[in-house]
Structure 1
Amino acid sequence: MEEDLDAHALRRQGWTISAIARHLGRDRKTIRAYLSGERAPHQRRQPPDAFVPFLEYCRQQLCDDPHLWASTLFDEVAELGYPGAYSSFTEALRRYRVRPHCDPCQASKGRDRAVIAHPPGEEIQLDWVELPDPPAEWGVGGHAHLLVGALAHSGRWRAVLSESEDFAHLVQALDAVLRKLGGTARKWRFDRMATVCYPTSGQVTAVFAGVAKFYGVQVAICPPRRGNRKGVVEKANLSAAQRWWRTVPDQISVEQAQSGIDKLATRLDERRRSVDDVRVTVGELAAGEPLLELPTLPFPAQLEVVRTVSPQALVSFEGNLYSVPPGMSGMHVTVRRRLGEDVLQIVTAGKVVVARHHLAPRGAGRMVRSPGHVIALERTVLAQVSDRAPCKTKTRRPLSPAALAEAERLRGRGGSAASAAERVVINLDTYAAVADRLRTAPTPEEEPGE
């Protein structure tokens, strides 16, 4: 402040800006800013707020969905060019009060929660997530199905998209999740899903008990209406729904969506954790968990899905196309595959096996066609095609003599009918004479038959 006073006083005494700067040991631009009032002492110029250009976008997104996660919104604005860190972003959300207030959500906060210890490698929590409104081209109906598996100790999770939640698809997705995690914990924890246990009693079914024996693990069932008991996987479910499914576009294949959820799960391995006052990441914690090795092949459950044959005599299955004999276009067939085998069968509604193929890698986009099917389809198509040249449509073709004769016959038929109609004359005198004769009743002598 003293320098500011000296600068103004010396300026009024006629000193130049350069002389004042040399006297006070400051830059000439600083002295000029003091004298003009652009700057004040001990107040640095604040840089422009990097959040301001994205303020309206964030406000619109949170107006459309007040429960949108800040991390999801940060992912979106980071792709749009936001240069700040996540902590600066959330501070700006609070400073500008962007998120609308929600009374029901505020009322549910503050409840007591238990802390459950999870030793390394002890438990993996698994749960289905029903994702609403999937892309129409997936053909899965109103919901997509995502099996999420999370290691209870470290929090690492992986997820696999599945066509259904039946037993065979559960086993297929479960094996894929375990292989993405690099092994299995000693215990699997589920809620009361019907493919694992009897929902009323919580006892494991005999069929799924065979799966657990195959992998050498125990099965733990959550108590009814106790979703917090498997809170690790529930948190992973929210991350998958909020940070991935919410922004999945309409024009995307199942394989591309699976790649998106894999990238998200891998990125979340960088989350920070504090263990015994040591800062580590989720990935580092998971790397230290003693997981059991998986069998070479998955449990041999039999997978069956219904498909419709295309006009090209092809059937779609797991991102690939498989051929069938010609003449089955539009028919419903069943694709049958036993997990662990590299052969699939295509069966008709009458339980007739019409095709067997070697299984292509999932999502490879291959067209697997049997040579016999190719030859039969070519013969069928060629038999339907004529070798004659196509007809010319821009030619002049006058009426033939036969057509002219038929037209004359029709005209003559119409003319005779018209002339006959003209010759019909209605004479009302005849009707009058009949009426006069009927006015007088006939005598007995005039009775007919006498």
Structure 2
Amino acid sequence: MVLRSERWLELRRYRALHEAGLSLSQIARETGLDRKTVRKYLAGEAAAAPPQRSPRRDARASVLSPFAHVIDAWLRAELLLKGTVIHERLVEQYGFTGNYQRVKLYLQEARPRIAAELGIGPDELAGLHRRFEVVPGAQAQVDWGDEGGILAHVGIAKVYSFHMVLSYSRDPFCCFTTSQDLSAFWECHRRAFAHFGGVPKSIVYDRTKTVVRRHVAPGQAVPLHPEAVAFAGHYDFDIDVLAAYRPTGKGRVERQVTIVRDHVLAGRGFSSLADLDAAFQAWVPMRRARTHRTHGEVIGVRAARDHAALRSLPARPYVVAARHLRHVGKDCLIAYDANLYSVPARRVRHRQLVEVRATAATITIHATIADQYGQTLLASHPRAVGRGARIVDPAHWDGLPDGHSRSTTTGDTPPPRTRPAPGGGPLQALLNRAAAAHVTVDRRPLSVYDQIAGTSPFTSTRTYPKGTSS
């Protein structure tokens, strides 16, 4: 029936050609139809009305028709209610037996219709997102900012800003780092918790590699990084990972990134990361004194309620360390993050494999096999800032040749050779060739050694038994 309708549309398109004098054969060749079929549809009532589709029962409508008024009521209350939520509620509350695809197809028709009833146009519907409110201490949002070469004049090529915002009060925290790696990311969390005086019940993240182990298809469970799970378990908060391409899910912290750039960084010069952190801390009281235009309260007043509802900090901090394997170079240095760190020469060998444990502040180097005392630590250094630094402990090079025995002369005459002082003993005399020639050696007959050994003296006369010849 669908094919017949399409062909009818083609015949209507060529009817003007037929009226202009085109023959039936020519129209048949253009449309790919038989000449008799062309004559049939162009003659009489067949050309005036398309072939009618036989009525068919819509299985989708029959399954959802008892619940259509329920779905429409939910959409009028929350137009952007997810189809998965609607299907779940229909199954739990109304015993719905259909699958999710039935609901999804119905929403494609129902959502624009309800939007039209509410006076929301298609363009407005596409740009909408669901606003959510939380109770004090319930949530925080985290994001990174790229501040570029703000410290390039002091040799730091790249600076990043870490932001955490309490969702209830919009109370901000920011600190600056030169790395976005695992240890730096979670160290910034520890600083944020100390700034707020507690831990929120959940933290919202996008799909960063320091939180998510790998990306998965939409609708599948997101595998979390093991260190993220351990850190969240130690500080007792939940990890909330946003769906892919959903920036509105953490708009409060993304807005905070722009605010910090405008009010703290713009038009100022800095000489170190400490200066950047101090500038933000000096700006925080001014930010807390402002009235937020969304919730209409002073941020500091609302932040007091937020801080009071936070969970208390654990007694012991959890330090995340990134672990990597490196080879020891001939100069007793190992390379990590574009910097060099020394190891003790007496405890390693060239090309030995060692483990580097990097935190935000320190670099510790461990042997892969414990020594006789069960220890693996080889060296500990403060972490270098930037790239291309050499962090060396001079004691690590003890025992290596340092060139102190080398000597030079500017004359053509070689320096005189000195003899050891006399009386150095027989061993010293033997080691000196000139003195060895004058060493007196005792001479004894061989019979003395025969007597000592208890053997008969050697003679050249031999006796043979009778009846034998020599």
Report TM bin, short chain. 0.3 to 0.5
Give the TM-score of the pair, scaled to structure 2. 0.44
Bigger radius of gyration among the two:
2
